[in-house]
Amino acid sequence: MGGKDGSRIGGTICIDVEVTVMPKIPEGISREHVLAAIRDFDGGRPHSFGDSTKYDLLFEGKRYPPKAILGLAAAHILGEPLIPDDFSGGATSQCNRILRSQGFQIVSKENQDEYSEEKVVLEDFSPFQIGTVVNNDELRKAFKCSTQGGMRRSKPTNTLVVISNHVKSVYGDRWVDNVLHYTGMGLKGDQSLYFAQNKTLNESKANGVDVHLFEVFANNEYTYQGQVKLANSPYQEPQHDQDGNLRRVWIFPLQLRDGAPLIRSETEFLQEQAQKEKKANRLTDDELEKRAGNARKNPGSRSTQLTQYERNPYVAALAKRRANGICDLCNERAPFNKKNGDPYLETHHIIWLSKGGDDTTENTVALCPNCHRRMHVVNATQDINKLIKKRIAAHSHRPTNLSEVKE
């Protein structure tokens, strides 16, 4: 315990000394601060940094030591430059990450065996916009990683791509309260926390590797969900391997770094559920009973961000009125009537609004709930063509006034 200046506690004179601890690298370093630091460096502003050893900041054809530039940039926030002992440099350092985030290239020194000047290291890497759907080759080119596996390490971009595949995977990934409980690497037998990319992901809070998440809801369609981080410590649980044998796996709780809800459409959700049902249906009776017995009692959950379209109520009402209680696809009567006695049908856009379809009478039909769900789950070409032909025929014989439309 301390007392006031000169006070005595337990025979000891206690003197309080107010110590101000300054942050090593201040928050808020911007591109303008870095540009100002480059001008300071070129102008000969004093600093205590030496030349770089492995990496340079490359700007307008000139090389600069990254630590010196960041140290000088900090002066425009703190009032004086940082010193070398305040922070470290290196490939995955916070220094290089900050400079990259502001659009500056970090390149290797000349005559390095691992990289040449033409091969930019930790360049101004820009991943896809969240929600972008790419194929496997586009993913590989963007992240400079392998096309194989669910965990793909890339040294050129200093990233780890993790893929939660809901189509072809033995892993039991699941969302619980916006946290993805992601199964580690290893198809057979017990998994090791220190094996390959399990180790990389486990140490991602300290090793400087950025982790990016993709989800697969349809073959060769990878939906980018953004950067993720460990929400908690990895833990073990039993899961079946690719041979159907029960084993111990490592689960990594992952959440989005910015905390934003994941962008996920109803179609993606239905595709995921359909793929899971398809995998379950391929199992034998014994395998299905075994896995059902090991199922979790509490279902997973996640928040989603959906785009809501303001549909024209007159277009929807006209589609239902023209249908006169008959589904436009199966030609059967509505399965039931609403409380007011009207037949229950649902409006559907033949070409979905999310895919650029128009909210017009030509693109809108009335379907029974069963066929409506079918169009969102299967969306078969033959059904689409049938609805288009029916709508074209109906539109060509459109009555001149609504009184000609049967109630």
The two structure tokens encoding residue 376: 């969102």
Which pLDDT does position 133 carry in this prediction?
A: 87
- Over the stretch 26-82, which tens digit does the pLDDT of each residue have? 888 998 999 999 999 999 999 999 998 888 898 888 899 999 999 999 999 999 999
Cβ pair 133, 223 in contact under 8 A = yes
What confidence category does residue 122 fall into, taking pLDDT thresholds of 50, 70 and 90? Answer: very low
- Over the stretch 125-150, which tens digit does the pLDDT of each residue have? 557 888 888 999 999 988 989 989 99
Q: What is the DSSP string of 54-84?
A: SEEEEETTEEE-HHHHHHHHHHHHHSS---G
- Over the stretch 14-23, which tens digit does the pLDDT of each residue have? 444 444 344 4
- Over the stretch 348-400, which tens digit does the pLDDT of each residue have? 999 998 788 888 888 999 999 999 999 998 999 999 999 999 888 876 655 44
Nearest to 34 by CA among 58, 8, 10: 58
Q: What are phi and psi of 108, to 5 degrees?
A: -75, 155
Q: What is the DSSP string of 236-251?
A: EEEEE-TTS-EEEEEE
Cβ pair 86, 57 in contact under 8 A = no
- Over the stretch 89-106, which tens digit does the pLDDT of each residue have? 877 678 888 888 787 888
- Rounded to two decimals, the pTM is 0.50
SS3 label, residue 107: strand
Beta-bridge partners for 182: 252
Task: Work out the burial of residue 181: count CB atoms within 10 Å of its CB; fewer than 13 is exposed, 13-18 middle, 19 or more buried.
Answer: buried
Task: Work out the burial of residue 264: count CB atoms within 10 Å of its CB; fewer than 13 is exposed, 13-18 middle, 19 or more buried.
Answer: buried
Q: At CA 391, angle to CA 390 and CA 394, rounded to 5?
A: 85
Placement of tokens 């893929």 in the chain: 163
Q: Could you tell me the residue ranges of all domains in the chain?
A: 31-108, 133-305, 313-404
Query: What is the rounded CA–CA span in Å between residue 93 and residue 89?
Result: 5
The two structure tokens encoding residue 386: 């049938």
The predicted model gives 211-239 an average pLDDT of: 90
Query: What is the rounded CA–CA span in Å between residue 184 and residue 218?
Result: 21
Query: What is the rounded CA–CA span in Å between residue 288 and residue 319?
Result: 43
Which residues have a Cβ under 8 Å from the Cβ of 248 and sit 6 or more positions away? 190, 191, 236, 237, 238
What CATH code would you report for 133-305? 2.30.280.10
Asked whether the predicted pLDDT for residue 111 surpasses 80, the reply is no
Query: What is the rounded CA–CA span in Å between residue 183 and residue 335?
Result: 43
Q: At CA 383, angle to CA 392 and CA 133, rounded to 5?
A: 105
Asked whether the predicted pLDDT for residue 404 surpasses 80, the reply is no
Of the two residues 55 and 343, the one the predictor is more confident about is: 343
* CA distance to 67, 347, 406, per residue, from 43 (Å): 17, 68, 84
Which pLDDT does position 158 carry in this prediction?
A: 87
Placement of tokens 């009537």 in the chain: 337
Which pLDDT does position 167 carry in this prediction?
A: 80
Asked whether the predicted pLDDT for residue 405 surpasses 60, the reply is no
Same fold, 133-305 and 313-404: no
Q: Strand 304-305 and strand 262-263: pairing?
A: parallel
Which pLDDT does position 8 carry in this prediction?
A: 36
Q: What are phi and psi of 216, to 5 degrees?
A: -115, 120
The two structure tokens encoding residue 49: 């940094």
CATH class held by domain 313-404:
mainly alpha
Beta-bridge partners for 249: 237
Query: What is the rounded CA–CA span in Å between residue 296 and residue 311?
Result: 39
What is the CB neighbour count within 10 angstroms for residue 37?
26
Of the two residues 20 and 165, the one the predictor is more confident about is: 165
Mean residue pLDDT of the chain comes to: 80
Asked whether the predicted pLDDT for residue 266 surpasses 70, the reply is no
